[in-house]
Amino acid sequence: MSMLELFAASLGVLAVWLTTRQNVWCWPIGLVMVLLYTWIFFDIKLYSDMLLQVVYAALQVYGWWQWTRPGSARPARAVSWLAPGPLLASLALGALVSLALGAAMAHWTDAAQPWLDAALTGFSLVAQVWMAQKRVQCWPLWLVLDVIFVGLFLYKDLYLTAALYALFTLLAVQGWRAWQRDLAVAR
């Protein structure tokens, strides 16, 4: 465990906790966290995860904008339910990204776990976009992904990051419950 990993993990806990509470500060704090994890994952040859952090950086800005809508007469985005058609299309896109990225990483890099890392990356992108759009389904997808991430990070001896993702799993349960309550109140 490095001090960098400790700092990044601490920011991650804070960012996800703020997300469960729909606090807009989750986005800038999350931005710093993902930039730090870009370096950490490069260092241990989880290249798909490294690229995921770069995309997450852009999605942090997108999420911040989605939640605040600066200069817009519309109110900030509310929690919503994603219809089955777009949900399945998003998951299919996540699978395609996973396969393409896995093939690229397996063929052109010395990635430690090219296929698993790519699958986690592809579906994490889906979950992150859903979270930025305040889709309640982001949380059960995060639950599944976070459990698998825990195993991957234990395998790579990133024990603090594995603990972080175990905590993310618990926070995903909390977020799922909170967002479902907000959705029920809004109806």
Q: Are 4 and 162 in contact (CB under 8 A)?
A: no
pTM above 0.95, yes or no: no
Question: Which amino acid belongs to residue 155?
Answer: Y
When mean pLDDT is compared across 35-49, 67-81, 141-155, the lowest value belongs to 67-81
Q: What is the structure's pLDDT at 68? A: 85
Distance CA 143, CA 139 (A): 6
Task: Write down the domain spans for the chain.
Answer: 3-186
- Residues of the chain with pLDDT > 70, as a percent, come to 95
For residue range 95-149, list pLDDT tens digits in order: 999 999 999 999 999 988 999 999 999 999 999 999 989 999 999 999 999 999 9
* Distance (Å, whole) CA 52 – CA 167: 20
Number of other CB atoms surrounding residue 118 within 10 Å: 26
Residue 108 pairs in a beta bridge with none
User: Rounded to whole angstroms, how far apart are CA atoms 106 and 56?
Assistant: 22
Give the CA angle between residues 183, 94, 8 to the nearest 5°: 75
Stretch among 36-45, 74-83, 105-114, 125-134 having the lowest mean pLDDT? 74-83
70: Cβ contacts below 8 Å, ≥ 6 apart = none
